[in-house]
Amino acid sequence: MSGLTRTEVAHVARLARLRLSDEELDLFTVQLARILDHAADMQSLDLAGVVATAHPYDLINVVREDVVRPSLDRDVVLAAAPDAEDGCFAVPRIMGEEL
Amino acid sequence: MTLPEGWEMVVGLEVHTELRTATKMFCGCANVFGAEANTNVCPVCLGLPGSLPVLNERAVSMAMAIGMALHATIAPSTFHRKNYFYPDMPKDFQISQYDLPINSGGYLDLPDGSRVRIERAHLEEDTGKSTHLGASGRIHGADRSLVDYNRSGVPLVEIVSGPDIRSAAQARLYASELRAVLIATGASDGRMEEGSMRIDANVSVRRNGEPFGTRCEIKNLNSLRSLQRAIEFEAQRQVELLEGGGVVRQETRHWDETVGATSTMRVKEEAEDYRYFREPDLVDLAPDAAWQQRVADELGPMPAERRAAVVGLLGEPSDAQRDAIDVVIDLGLERFVHATHAAGGDVAVALARVANELAAAEDVSKLTEAAFVATIALESSGQLSATQAKTVLADLIASGGEPREVAAARGFEQLSADSLGDIVAALIAANPDEWSRFRDGDDKLAQFFVGLVMRETKGRANGKAVIAELHARR
């Protein structure tokens, strides 16, 4: 068993801004624990000879040239915003830090 | 300011620099500062559903150039999502590099001889910019923030130093040397006032010989002065706290420049769970030897070497000249000083003109090295006064041309040695008391005569030539 606790699930839900009922918390604790158990099963396998898979596609260095392409029209962009002011997206005031 | 006896500060810096690419990190929107809000945005940098990032090749080249300049190891790397919610990041995650950064290891040597290790220098994207409106008289929604996404997705390199810095002054020196290196690589314009280089400082203190103490992170220091003051304040605060029997809490702190103090922004334990995971929309980055070689080939000498070359021309530069050299190296204009030296001209005068007149110009592409050297020669020989030489340079910078022609067009007639001699002789005759005091050894009187000559010639005379003339007659 992974030993996943209800508190940990509540914490992860809060980080993801999900509001869960008590019933959902119970349910997801059981379900997520099963997923973690499955991962633990795989961890226990001897995979020394298997190359790590970084990505399902066997591609590296997919890049584009540094050339400017047209941006969107601002009126169109702001029309999709819940609220706008002075050419900016207006959102509820963020308290605390500036990032 | 120094810490009380027996205490030592331990500082590491995280420097974010925006890259001077034409476009953003993962989309073709223009990367420019100061554009009208939300005019350089598209589905990718707005985080609209279904949009997919494609990595900017030049951002990778610039990141490698920075790594090479810092003697770092370039290795295959990956991108991760750093998840958190904040309105200036519309995707609700920032694409960054986590356990496998493009550059790791390395060091930066500072002008004072110290060496600071570099832990890593990785690629990531910048966030948008929010402006917080305070509560105003408006009836509804008075308390809100406005967000501009022009900066969202601008490529950044974050350079993380080792915990090797031991004073606020050394932190400042590190930041200023790193800034010079970033500019020299061509990856950054180093404009801290525009936010294109921003610094976070990790500060802790310990009694001599003890293990590292608990550190606090001071966010977003946007000038070298703020950096130095904030670190001094924070180290002092921690020492006072510990000496008073308290403990330092690991937290993020904000520096208030006007108050001159740091204050708690958020406590570490209750935040900082970014749930990093691999960005599934981007593949691995593994620049091959040929790509790395192209970047290496374009990388010129670094500031320390270029500075030493100019210092070598001057012998023992004064402090003011050292400052001038820093300016000239930052702007990449030292070729004019070297050209002057190669032509046997006055290097000190050349340095002063480059650090002032040329540095103040937006663009010096019309000024040829030959024209610059010739102007300095005219000034040194006294055919142009300092004021006239500055005017001629300004004209040459604005429209190009040849200095003699520009001087003639300006009506700067050459003041011949003969006529200067005549003027000096006449002024000596008119001021016999001052002259005899000068002859008796009162050198201050030289400036008196220089002033008279300048008035007489309407500033056309060369001050040094006048002094030479006075001494010849003493």
Identify whether the C-beta of residue B324 lies closer than 8 Å to the C-beta of residue B352. Answer: yes
Domains and CATH numbers, chain A: 6-43 (1.10.20)
CA–CA separation, B41 vs A84, rounded Å?
15
CA of A20, closest CA in chain B: separation in Å?
18
B197, B193, B163, B223: which is closest to B66 by C-alpha?
A: B197
Contact at CB, A77 and B46, closer than 8 angstroms: yes
Average pLDDT value for residue range B379-397: 90
Put simply, whether A51 touches B (Cβ < 8 Å) is no
CA–CA separation, A69 vs B3, rounded Å?
53
Average pLDDT value for residue range B200-216: 95
* From A90-99, B177-186, B419-428, the region with the lowest mean pLDDT: A90-99
Q: Count Cα atoms within 13 angstroms, Cβ side, for B132.
A: 10
Neighboring chain A residues of B22 at a CB cutoff of 8 Å: 66-68
pLDDT at position B141, please? Answer: 45
Identify whether the C-beta of residue B95 lies closer than 8 Å to the C-beta of residue B279. Answer: yes
Nearest CA in chain B to A60: B284
Q: Which amino acid is at B453?
A: V
Who has greater pLDDT, A48 or B159? Answer: B159
* pTM (predicted TM-score): 0.83
CA of B91, closest CA in chain A: separation in Å?
13
pLDDT at position B138, please? Answer: 45
Put simply, whether A72 touches B (Cβ < 8 Å) is yes
> Can you read off the two tokens belonging to residue A24?
């959902």
CA–CA separation, B206 vs B9, rounded Å?
6
CA distances from A20 to A17, A24, A35, B193, B233 (A): 10, 6, 19, 45, 44
Average pLDDT value for residue range B429-457: 89
Name which of A11, A61, A74 is nearest B285 (Cβ-Cβ): A61
* From B44-48, B213-217, B291-295, B443-447, the region with the lowest mean pLDDT: B443-447
B216-221 and B144-148 as β-strands: parallel, antiparallel, unpaired? unpaired
Q: Which CATH class is domain B417-473?
A: mainly alpha
Give φ, ψ of B415 to 5 degrees: -95, 110
Q: Which of A49-53, B82-86, B352-356, B430-434 has the highest mean pLDDT?
A: B352-356
CA of A22, closest CA in chain B: separation in Å?
22
**Is 90 exceeded by the pLDDT of residue B235?**
yes
Contact at CB, B42 and A90, closer than 8 angstroms: no
For all residues of chain B together, what is the average pLDDT? Answer: 92
pLDDT at position A3, please? Answer: 82
* From A52-56, B44-48, B375-379, B443-447, the region with the lowest mean pLDDT: A52-56
Contact at CB, B38 and A77, closer than 8 angstroms: yes
Put simply, whether A67 touches B (Cβ < 8 Å) is yes
Contact at CB, B285 and A60, closer than 8 angstroms: yes
Q: Which amino acid is at B300?
A: G
Average pLDDT value for residue range B14-39: 97
Q: Is the ipTM of this complex over 0.90?
A: no
* From A18-27, A80-89, B127-136, the region with the lowest mean pLDDT: B127-136
Q: Which of B64-68, B260-264, B363-367 has the highest mean pLDDT?
A: B64-68
**Is 60 exceeded by the pLDDT of residue B124?**
yes
pLDDT at position B366, please? Answer: 95
Burial of B64 (0-12, 13-18, 19+ CB in 10 A): buried
Contact at CB, B28 and A64, closer than 8 angstroms: yes
Using one digit for the tens of pLDDT, what is the confidence trace for B85-109? Answer: 888 899 999 999 999 999 999 999 9
Q: Where are the domains of chain B?
A: 7-296, 301-409, 417-473
Who has greater pLDDT, B46 or B419? Answer: B46
Average pLDDT value for residue range B181-208: 95
CA of A45, closest CA in chain B: separation in Å?
23
